[in-house]
Each structure stands twice: as structure tokens, then as C-alpha cells.
């Protein structure tokens, strides 16, 4: 499966760098071409000569090398790979990835890359558990970076806990999975909506809701990771744009509908946005002042239903239209009725009642409702829900799973 696949391996500074030598061997055995970048810190742990010997290629270490840049610039290094693997990924390199720094060859190649990225973190257990590291990880994972490990056990520093780099063969399996999956939706186009909408009351006030955009953004990232040409139409959120996804920012429901229509035709549409049901019919062009006497009375008008309108289109209806049903009671029954009423193919019903922490939280409890019935999914992270949904979409669109993935 790895025959002639091109891996760009970035080795950062950590005692586990010795395992990267083994990783190179395992990849070469399977026929992969491995090109390596080492950070300055990595050179304290393994030598460029060992890395070059095992990879049977030149090793790249210096952003400012005139020879290297003229032979194989940092842009080409990152573009001429099928996958970028960072192993070991130190706390420092993860932090620099999260911030988007480009102060050496490794970070510059990562920033210039449009390829899938897999990291194999390793560090002391306190560094791993530190909120800064966890926040940096959350940032890069939300952008679509994949991670393997770390595992638990005795660490090089003598302490015992989480922080051991995954074993080379585990990393090889993760690489095979990603490369097998990467092209599965290559010929497909996907539209995803995410986040809340904002309906203006006047130039400074609006009606909106608590949607964080986490689930919709994760779905767009998962579809793009399977190779779909993905457009994410999103209301205002704090979520970073997922890698390889075209993001169309919108504010109101009317703008969201127009943006979605402009993206058609697509093969699959996933409507995960929490669209405001009503807008203020009489939004004013000037700020409402208190000196008008009584508080203003806001007359509301119903917003267009984007999911229903996409699901009920004619010739350019997507082959698969998927909605969400945010419910606080009778979750599955309401979702079943919502699916029929809106005429979408699948509904993911999620319980958003107080205490579930679905809005804004990282977890989601979902039931998939389709014409055949109801499938209860276990409580999962929003990213796991996204990956499972993307997998189901690929199966439904007739793109079979390659062997071994």
C-alpha cells in the first residue's frame, strides 16, 4: 500500500527521535519514499548522517541553505509529498504549529503544506497535560491535523505516565490508514453549514444562539480529509478554518441560503448550522435609543429554512442531504418528524438539553435517523462524530473502503 507513496518526515527534538530511524526503515521496507527534515533540536538526538543513510535521500535542515533552496525549496518539499508526518512532535513544535510560526525549515514547510499532516507527540507527562499543550493540540486538530499517541508508560525522564511516542509500526499503520482514506471522496463535492446566524435588530444588536460551530467545522474537516472538494458556509464562530476547506463567512440566514445556493451542485450537503428561526422584520438602520419612551416591540419574521429548501430542489438537489435536529425532549421522535417534514435523507438527532453540554462542548450524543430506521451512536467527541459521518457518507455515495483501511 505504501509503494511509491511519498512521505515527508519532520523530526523534531526529543529522545524518541531514535524511534524515527526505525520508522524510516519500516517505511522504506514497504516501498515508500521518505524525505526528511530535521529541526536544530533533533540534531542533538540523532545525526543527519543516520537519517540520510536510512532514508537514502538528502536530509534537509536549514531554511537558509542556498543549495537546498535552489535544489528543492521548502514549498516543493511540502507539496511533493502525499503526507507530512511529524515524529517525534515535541511540545515546542506543536506550539509553533498552533501559532503558525515559520521560523525554521520544519515550520515553514508545515505552514506551506496543503497535504494531510500526522503528528506523533512525545514529551514529559506534565508538559503533555499542561493546558497550553492541550490548547495547542485542540487548535491544530480542529484544523484537520491527525494524531497518533502518545501512549502511557515509563518516559525517558524517569517518570511514568502519558507522553511516550507511538511505536514505529503503529505510526506505519496510521500512515497507511490516512493514505488509504485520503482519496476516497476525491471526485465528490461537499457543502457544509456551521455555526449560528446573526439577525440584526439594529446596527449594534442582534439575535443569535449558542452554537460554537465545532461540529460543523469538524464535519467539513473530515470530508476534506477524505478528499472531498469541501465548501464550509459558516456563521460567526471562534473555530479555526479547517485545512483544505474553502470557507464562506456569512452573518444572516438569508446570506447563508444564498451562499449555499451559489455552491450547488454538490454530491452531499450537511446542514449543521444553528440557523436563527426568526429575524427582526423591522431591523433599523440606526441604533435604537432608550429615549423613545417604552421599550421597542420587535416584530419577528420567519427565516428561510435552508435545509428544507436544499432538500426540496429539483435537478440540482444533492444526492445526499443531511440535517441535524437539536432537541431537548422526544429527541428521536421529533427528529423523525423533522426528517419527513424537511425531506432530507438523514437527520442526526442530538440532545441539547441543559446538562448535556452539547452547545459549545466537545462531546455529542447522536442518533442517525434515515428511511430505514434509527441508529444510536455512542457518546463521542464532535471530531469522532464527524469522522464516522464522513465514513458513512463515503459508503453511501458508493465509494468503497480500500482494503486494509
Residues designated catalytic: 157
Stretch that binds ligand CTP, among 11-19, 129-137, 269-277, 289-297 (CB under 6 A): 269-277
Tell me how far, at minimum, the Cβ of 273 lies from ligand CTP, in Å: 5
Tell me how far, at minimum, the Cβ of 208 lies from ligand CTP, in Å: 13
- Any contact of residue 275 with ligand CTP (CB under 6 A)? yes
- Any contact of residue 255 with ligand CTP (CB under 6 A)? no
Residue of the chain from 241, 324, 386, 393 that contacts ligand CTP (CB under 6 A):
324
Q: Is the peptide bond before 7 cis (omega within 30 degrees of 0)?
A: no
Under 8 Å CB-to-CB from 198, ≥6 apart: which residues?
A: 206, 207, 208, 235, 236, 251, 252, 276
- Any contact of residue 331 with ligand CTP (CB under 6 A)? no
Nearest residue (CB) to ligand CTP, 113 versus 303: 303
Residue of the chain from 109, 253, 390, 393 that contacts ligand CTP (CB under 6 A):
253
Stretch that binds ligand CTP, among 30-38, 106-114, 226-234, 304-312 (CB under 6 A): 304-312
Tell me how far, at minimum, the Cβ of 285 lies from ligand CTP, in Å: 24
Q: Is the peptide bond before 150 cis (omega within 30 degrees of 0)?
A: yes
Stretch that binds ligand CTP, among 119-127, 285-293, 300-308, 391-399 (CB under 6 A): 300-308
Q: Specify the length of the chain in residues.
A: 405
Please check whether residue 313 is in contact with residue 244, taking contact to mean a CB–CB distance below 8 angstroms: no
Query: Which residue in this structure is represented by grid cell 517525534?
Result: 88
Nearest residue (CB) to ligand CTP, 48 versus 249: 249
Q: Is the peptide bond before 265 cis (omega within 30 degrees of 0)?
A: yes
Residue of the chain from 20, 108, 303, 365 that contacts ligand CTP (CB under 6 A):
303
Phi and psi at 182, nearest 5°, equal -60, -30
- Any contact of residue 122 with ligand CTP (CB under 6 A)? no
Q: Interaction with ligand CTP in 133-152: which residues (CB under 6 A)?
A: none
- Any contact of residue 271 with ligand CTP (CB under 6 A)? yes
Query: How far is it, in rounded angstroms, from Cα 137 to Cα 145?
Result: 9
Tell me how far, at minimum, the Cβ of 25 lies from ligand CTP, in Å: 48
User: Which DSSP state fits 398?
Assistant: T
From residue 292, give the alpha-carbon distance in Å to each of 100, 285, 287, 289, 299: 49, 16, 11, 6, 17
From residue 404, give the alpha-carbon distance in Å to each of 50, 73, 179: 31, 34, 11
Beta strands in 144-188 (DSSP E): 146-147, 151-154, 160-164
Query: How far is it, in rounded angstroms, from Cα 159 to Cα 129?
Result: 13
Tell me how far, at minimum, the Cβ of 322 lies from ligand CTP, in Å: 8
Nearest residue (CB) to ligand CTP, 46 versus 276: 276
Residue of the chain from 82, 176, 305, 351 that contacts ligand CTP (CB under 6 A):
305
Among the listed residues 88, 93, 95, 96, the one whose alpha carbon sits nearest the alpha carbon of residue 151: 88
Stretch that binds ligand CTP, among 20-28, 43-51, 217-225, 320-328 (CB under 6 A): 320-328
Query: How far is it, in rounded angstroms, from Cα 303 to Cα 208?
Result: 13
Q: Interaction with ligand CTP in 344-403: which residues (CB under 6 A)?
A: none
Tell me how far, at minimum, the Cβ of 203 lies from ligand CTP, in Å: 23
Tell me how far, at minimum, the Cβ of 357 lies from ligand CTP, in Å: 17
Interacting residue ranges for ligand CTP, rule: CB under 6 A: 193, 253, 271, 273, 275, 277, 303, 305-307, 323-326, 338
Amino acid at each position: 500500500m505504501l509503494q511509491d507513496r511519498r512521505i515527508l518526515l519532520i523530526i523534531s527534538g526529543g529522545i524518541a527521535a531514535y524511534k524515527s530511524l526505525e520508522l524510516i526503515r519500516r517505511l522504506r521496507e514497504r516501498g515508500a519514499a521518505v524525505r526528511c527534515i530535521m529541526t536544530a533540536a533533533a540534531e542533538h538526538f540523532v545525526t543527519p548522517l543516520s537519517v540520510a543513510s536510512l532514508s537514502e535521500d538528502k536530509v534537509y535542515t536549514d531554511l537558509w541553505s542556498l543549495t537546498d533552496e535552489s535544489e528543492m525549496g521548502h514549498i516543493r518539499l511540502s507539496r511533493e509529498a502525499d503526507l507530512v508526518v511529524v515524529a517525534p512532535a515535541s511540545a515546542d513544535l506543536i506550539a509553533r504549529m498552533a501559532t503558525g510560526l515559520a521560523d525554521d525549515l520544519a515550520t515553514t514547510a508545515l505552514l506551506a503544506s496543503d497535504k494531510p499532516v500526522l503528528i506523533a507527540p512525545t514529551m514529559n507527562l506534565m508538559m503533555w497535560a499542561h493546558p497550553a499543550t492541550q490548547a495547542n493540540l485542540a487548535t491544530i486538530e480542529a484544523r484537520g491535523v491527525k494524531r497518533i499517541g502518545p501512549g502511557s508508560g515509563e518516559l525517558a525522564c524517569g517518570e511514568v505516565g502519558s507522553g511516550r511516542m507511538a511505536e514505529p509500526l503503529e505510526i506505519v499503520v496510521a500512515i497507511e490508514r490516512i493514505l488509504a482514506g485520503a482519496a476516497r471522496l476525491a471526485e465528490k463535492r461537499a457543502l457544509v453549514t456551521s455555526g449560528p446566524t446573526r439577525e440584526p435588530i439594529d446596527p449594534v444588536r442582534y439575535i443569535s444562539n449558542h452554537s460554537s460551530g465545532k461540529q460543523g467545522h469538524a464535519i467539513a474537516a473530515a470530508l476534506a480529509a477524505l478528499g472531498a472538494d469541501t465548501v464550509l458556509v459558516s456563521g460567526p464562530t471562534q473555530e479555526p478554518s479547517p485545512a483544505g476547506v474553502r470557507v464562506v463567512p456569512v452573518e444572516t440566514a438569508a446570506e447563508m441560503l444564498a451562499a449555499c445556493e451559489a455552491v450547488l451542485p454538490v454530491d452531499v450537503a450537511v446542514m449543521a448550522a444553528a440557523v436563527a428561526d426568526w429575524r427582526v422584520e423591522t431591523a433599523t438602520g440606526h441604533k435604537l435609543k432608550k429615549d423613545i419612551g417604552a421599550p421597542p416591540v420587535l416584530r419577528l419574521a420567519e427565516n428561510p429554512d435552508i435545509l428544507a429548501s436544499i432538500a426540496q430542489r429539483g435537478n440540482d438537489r444533492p444526492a445526499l442531504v443531511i440535517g441535524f435536529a437539536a432537541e431537548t425532549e422526544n429527541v428521536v421522535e421529533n427528529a423523525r418528524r423533522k426528517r419527513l417534514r424537511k425531506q432530507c435523507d438523514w437527520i442526526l438527532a442530538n440532545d441539547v438539553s441543559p446538562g448535556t453540554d452539547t452547545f459549545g462542548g466537545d462531546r455529542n450524543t447522536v442518533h442517525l435517523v434515515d428511511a430505514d430506521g434509527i441508529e444510536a451512536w455512542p457518546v463521542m467527541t464532535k471530531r469522532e462524530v464527524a469522522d464516522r459521518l464522513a465514513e458513512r457518507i463515503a459508503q453511501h455515495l458508493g465509494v468503497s473502503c480500500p482494503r486494509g483501511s
